[in-house]
Amino acid sequence: MTDQAFIKLDEVAKTYPTAGGAVPALSATSAIIREGEFVSIVGPSGCGKTTLLKMIGGLIDVTQGEIVLRGRQVNGPRDDVGFVFQGAVLLPWKTVLQNVLLPIEVHRPVTAKDRARALELLDVLGLANFEKRYPHELSGGMQQRVSICRALIGDPSCLLLDEPFGALDALTRENINVMFNELWRSTRKTVLLVTHSIQEAVFLSTRVLVMSRRPGEIVDDIAVDLPVVRLPEVIGSPEFGALANRIRPYFTKLAID
């Protein structure tokens, strides 16, 4: 990890035009994400978390301000950004391997090296020997791991995760969190995760950004000073509890207001 700004948000805001008038989704927001950080974004539903993530990924335009990623202004989708959505969004008529290789296939012919890389990723994420299966033959957790492999196949410098584990049962989610911590430690990708789970945010992150309700703005920036290797046992530690308890009052207040 370096102190250099990898992602810079400069007074970024978003307003959606509707038939009933303009709807502000995100207030002017500024932040700096450093290379190699794992940053989670938490906040109430509808506060602009996903909107912010999509603007960083170049999927939607900003209304105001500027986003700079690796020294270049974001003004559209980029090959150096991987995106994992809430659902796995796999093509049902393609095999696991074909789904992983899809981003490569869109741009150029798939090579033997690409296939080897895809199989390596599947192995790392516990999907060895599933490359010939189809999505309907996999559990929800396995499908989401395939989507993570697909996001990583192009070796992006930045990975954006939009509530990717929210639909999973608690045990599967915990196991995938542990696996994802291992993956981040081995790759040191810059990761931004949108989640509604305070526990997940603390468990996975080096920093947690807390957002207010709509139109959202960052109201706290919390450093997560826990061991880099995260195992489920850390959840019961006083340090983990203190971090979670620092975040929780924001949601309690928002629920009462």
Could you give all domains of the chain from N- to C-terminal order, each with its CATH number? 1-80+159-167+190-257 (3.40.50.300), 86-155 (no CATH)
Write the CA distances from 252 to 44, 46, 56, 199, integer angstroms: 10, 16, 28, 15
pLDDT at 256 over 70: no
Higher-confidence residue: 37 or 124? 37
Predicted confidence at residue 254, as pLDDT, reads 52
Residue 67 CA to residue 9 CA, distance in Å, equals 5
Contacts of 4 (CB under 8 A, 6+ apart): 34, 35
pLDDT at 12 over 50: yes
Higher-confidence residue: 88 or 101? 101
Helix extents (H) in the chain: 49-56, 96-107, 112-124, 140-152, 170-187, 198-204, 238-256
Q: Is 79 exposed, middle or buried, given 0-12, 13-18 or 19+ CB atoms closer than 10 A?
A: exposed
Residue 43, φ and ψ in degrees, nearest 5:
170, 170
pLDDT category of residue 253 using cuts at 50, 70 and 90: low
Sheet containing strand 64-69, edge to edge, reads: 23-34, 5-16, 64-69, 72-73
Predicted confidence at residue 104, as pLDDT, reads 92
Please state, rounded to an integer, the average pLDDT across all residues of the chain: 90
Identify the three-state secondary structure at position 202: helix
pLDDT at 79 over 90: no
In this prediction the pTM is 0.89
pLDDT at 1 over 70: no
Segment 130-146 mean pLDDT: 92
The three state secondary structure string of 67-133 is EEECCEECCCCCCCEEEECCCCCCCCCCCHHHHHHHHHHHHCCCCHHHHHHHHHHHHHCCCCCCCCC
Among the ranges 14-18, 169-173, 175-179, 223-227, which has the highest mean pLDDT value?
223-227
Write out pLDDT tens, residues 171-220. Answer: 888 888 998 899 899 889 999 999 999 999 999 999 999 999 888 899 99
Residue 158, φ and ψ in degrees, nearest 5:
-135, 140
pLDDT at 115 over 60: yes
Query: Cβ(176)–Cβ(84) under 8 Å?
Result: no
